[in-house]
Structure 1
Amino acid sequence: MYSTLQMIHSYWAYLVLAMIVLASFNALMKYFSGKEFHAIDFRISLFTLIVSHIQLLIGLVLYFVSPNGVKNISANGMSGLDSFARLLAVEHPFVGILAVTFITIGYSKHKKKLTSKPKFKMLSIFYTLGLLLVLSRIPWSNWF
């Protein structure tokens, strides 16, 4: 179960990363160019929200069944973790939760705005923050 979840979490991350990049750049470009908010913009932001939440759920399940998650903290304590073990057991999950929280806040706030410019502003701020957080805590050595 662990290896299957880990594989799904790793490959789903490519889709999540691509969607966050697309949604962030879409919102930023249309915000600065003053374009109107259309159905495709709504779909991009919604799909990004959905795939990031699925990734979070897979990651939370993985956190509890993985030997690198809560089991590693229980066995070694926080002081017994090296930097890579701390990345997998603490930093990666915590920052992932924060990133999905920012994406969720941005999506929720943009729905309350009535005109295009404020909608794109909310999406660009919060989705870009989510993107930066995701990029900061990806275990790059495991990806390549």
Structure 2
Amino acid sequence: MYEAIQIVHSYWAYLVVLVVTLATFNALIGFFTKREYAPKDFRISLFALIVTHIQLLIGIVIFFVSPTIMWFKDVPVKDIMGDPLVRLYNVEHPTVMILTIVFITVGYSKHKKKLTSTPKFKMLAIFYTIAWILMLSRIPWANWF
């Protein structure tokens, strides 16, 4: 079961990176070109929100069933924090990805409250860019290629 969930998590991650990248650049381009906010922009930012939340749910399941997660195996914290690869999977990746989703969620929520195009794109651009940078910083790239 773990292997199947891990495969779904890994392949869904490609979709997440693609959609969040698209949403981030769409927001930045919209903000800097001062174009009108359209239904397509709303759908792109919403789709980024949805795919990241689905990935979070899959990631939570993996966190509790993965053999590489040491928190539930009587392993001292100094051993987890002392090994960079173990620390990445047990601390850094989950924490930063949760922060990524928080930034996407906050940006999406804040942009809906704005009434005109420029502030909408500004909210999306700020929060989605921060989320995008955070996400790219803690992907375990060695396992992706």
Q: Return the alpha-carbon distance in structure 2 between the equivalents of residues 94 and 4 of structure 1.
A: 23
Q: Return the alpha-carbon distance in structure 2 between the equivalents of residues 88 and 66 of structure 1.
A: 10
Q: Return the alpha-carbon distance in structure 2 between the equivalents of residues 77 and 120 of structure 1.
A: 45
Q: Per the alignment, in what secondary structure is the counterpart of residue 73 of structure 1?
A: coil
CA displacement at 1:47 relative to structure 2: 0.4
CA displacement at 1:52 relative to structure 2: 0.3
The AA in structure 2 aligned to 1:85 is: V
CA displacement at 1:77 relative to structure 2: 2.1
Q: Per the alignment, in what secondary structure is the counterpart of residue 74 of structure 1?
A: coil
The AA in structure 1 aligned to 2:11 is: Y
Q: Return the alpha-carbon distance in structure 1 between the equivalents of residues 32 and 131 of structure 2.
A: 19
Query: Are 1:111 and 2:109 counterparts?
Result: no
Q: Per the alignment, in what secondary structure is the counterpart of residue 68 of structure 2?
A: coil
CA displacement at 1:115 relative to structure 2: 0.1
Q: Return the alpha-carbon distance in structure 2 between the equivalents of residues 41 and 64 of structure 1.
A: 36
Q: Per the alignment, in what secondary structure is the counterpart of residue 79 of structure 1?
A: helix
Task: Report the TM-score when normalising by structure 1.
Answer: 0.96
CA displacement at 1:12 relative to structure 2: 0.2
CA displacement at 1:74 relative to structure 2: 3.2
Q: Return the alpha-carbon distance in structure 1 between the equivalents of residues 126 and 77 of structure 2.
A: 33
Q: Per the alignment, in what secondary structure is the counterpart of residue 72 of structure 2?
A: helix
State the match for 1:10 in structure 2. 10
Query: Are 1:83 and 2:69 counterparts?
Result: no
> Pairwise mapping of residues 111-130 of structure 1 onto structure 2 (< 5 A)?
111-130=112-131
Number of aligned positions between the proteins: 142
State the match for 1:62 in structure 2. 62
CA displacement at 1:78 relative to structure 2: 1.6
Q: Return the alpha-carbon distance in structure 2 between the equivalents of residues 140 and 130 of structure 1.
A: 17
CA displacement at 1:80 relative to structure 2: 1.1
The ranges of structure 1 where at least 4 consecutive aligned residues each deviate by more than 4 angstroms after the TM superposition are: none
Higher helix share: 1
Query: Structure 2 unaligned runs (5+)?
Result: none
